[in-house]
Amino acid sequence: MRKIIHCDCDCFYASVELRDDPSLKDHPVAVGGAAERRGVVATCNYEARAFGIHSAMPTASALRRCPNLIVLAPSMEKYREVALQIRAIFSRYTEHIEPLSLDEAYLDVSNCDLFQGSATRIAQAIRQQVRDEVGITISAGVAPNKFLAKVASDWDKPDGLTVITPAQVDEFVLSLPVSKIHGVGKVMAARMAEHAIFSCADLRCRSLEELLTLFGKFGHQLYDYARGIDQRPVKAHRERKSLSVETTFAQDIDGVDAAKNKISALFDELEKRLLRLGDKRFSGIFVKLKSAEFRQTTIDRRHEGDLRAELFELLLEEAWARMASPLRLIGVGVRFASTDEDGAENAVSKEIHEEQLDLFAGFN
């Protein structure tokens, strides 16, 4: 029986900024891009969330909801340093650490002898040490597997600890809404609702064959999750699936030719970042577009040869035909060949990379 802890910092970027500037306490605070440059909110504190502000919301919209919102530019280097401090605390208890992003990670403490091997007491110690040494709070979930540990860490935020013992798994899972399953977003939840699936108890009423028919490969995980089963190990190394560069423009890009003219600069930046990664084998390329009305489309194509800007221009033309609307965002990227199949979690991973900075501040 594994002992898994999922640790998730509370409002990470905002918490670091409030730690460094106590005068911000009790004020609504967001970290993100400037409204005049069509930036978005990366994260915000709970005072800001009370106004309905959330990550990925345009900063201009956030300011309309909360005119007194304090918007701070991100300091990624500082956040990385804090993340390394927290990672060092994790490593006091186990070498089996799987980072999902700067602010969250899985820990397998099954073989840790500290605190008589109690995962609950280890999680308590980690949270206290992060508070004392780093100056921010972190929530944690303790469970026999990754799926349940991640659900548990979000159960009592902020600054919470939720423990699901092996004996509690069945009762806990039966009452769990499907919206709490990682990988089930609004669109998937709506699809499930069409088939009267609202909880894991409802999922249990469906056969594996039915779930595979309705939800494809994800049906395997849904079948297991509804029974509290997750056999995935904590992996110290998560293979990168893709790399992309995207830009939110200060002025909408109108017309396919004007959009194609933006590909060259994006492609140059993509090549620079690929060089930093070293030798990686491609399996595909993609172009992502977002309209001024926030409609979004992505075109993927298999590709294993050399990269050229013209390939992305062709994809953009195809994507433009779907949108036929002024664009606020254009992105280009590659997918890497992999033998690792880790299911929906990798597909929806929140892994933070350098390219996320482009979301905070676009350029012309």
Evaluate if residue 358 carries a pLDDT over 70.
no
Tokens representing 270 are 């993509």
Evaluate if residue 36 carries a pLDDT over 90.
no
What are 248-277's pLDDT values in tens digits?
Answer: 888 899 999 999 999 999 999 999 888 887
Name the pTM for this structure. Answer: 0.76
Judge if 206 and 253 occupy the same domain: no
Q: How much of the chain, in percent, has pLDDT values that exceed 90?
A: 74
Evaluate if residue 45 carries a pLDDT over 70.
yes
pLDDT value for 355: 35
Cα 273 to Cα 340: distance, rounded to the nearest angstrom: 22
Q: How much of the chain, in percent, has pLDDT values that exceed 70?
A: 92
Residue 324's CATH number: 3.30.1490.100
Evaluate if residue 357 carries a pLDDT over 70.
no
pLDDT value for 303: 87
C-alpha count within 13 angstroms, C-beta hemisphere, residue 349: 21
What are 177-235's pLDDT values in tens digits?
Answer: 999 998 898 889 999 999 999 999 999 999 999 999 999 999 999 999 999 999 999 99
The larger pLDDT score, comparing residue 186 to residue 146, is at 146
pLDDT value for 277: 77
Cα 160 to Cα 279: distance, rounded to the nearest angstrom: 42
Judge if 208 and 272 occupy the same domain: no
3-state class of 157 per DSSP? coil
Angle between helices 208-215 and 186-194 (to 10 degrees): 130
Cα 102 to Cα 135: distance, rounded to the nearest angstrom: 16
CB 338, CB 10: distance < 8 Å: no
303 belongs to a structural domain: yes
12 belongs to a structural domain: no
The catalytic residue positions are 104
pLDDT value for 275: 85
pLDDT value for 20: 96
8 belongs to a structural domain: no
Q: In which band, very low, low, confident or very high, does the pLDDT at 356 lie, cut at 50, 70 and 90?
A: very low
Evaluate if residue 171 carries a pLDDT over 60.
yes
Could you tell me the residue range of the domain that residue 182 belongs to? 170-225
Does a cis peptide bond (omega within 30 degrees of 0) precede residue 158? yes
Cα 62 to Cα 209: distance, rounded to the nearest angstrom: 44
Judge if 281 and 321 occupy the same domain: yes
Rounded to 5 degrees, φ, ψ at 12 are -50, -60
Cα 357 to Cα 77: distance, rounded to the nearest angstrom: 11
Most confident of 113-117, 270-274, 282-286: 113-117
Residue 189's CATH number: 1.10.150.20
Question: Residue 342, annotated ligand binder?
Answer: no
44 belongs to a structural domain: no
115 belongs to a structural domain: no
**Mean pLDDT, the chain, integer:** 89
Q: Which amino acid is at 360?
A: F
277 belongs to a structural domain: yes
Domains held by the chain: number: 2
What is the pLDDT averaged over residues 125-143? 97
pLDDT value for 338: 67
pLDDT value for 189: 93
Question: Residue 170, annotated ligand binder?
Answer: no
259 belongs to a structural domain: yes
Cα 214 to Cα 205: distance, rounded to the nearest angstrom: 14
What are 298-309's pLDDT values in tens digits?
Answer: 999 998 878 899
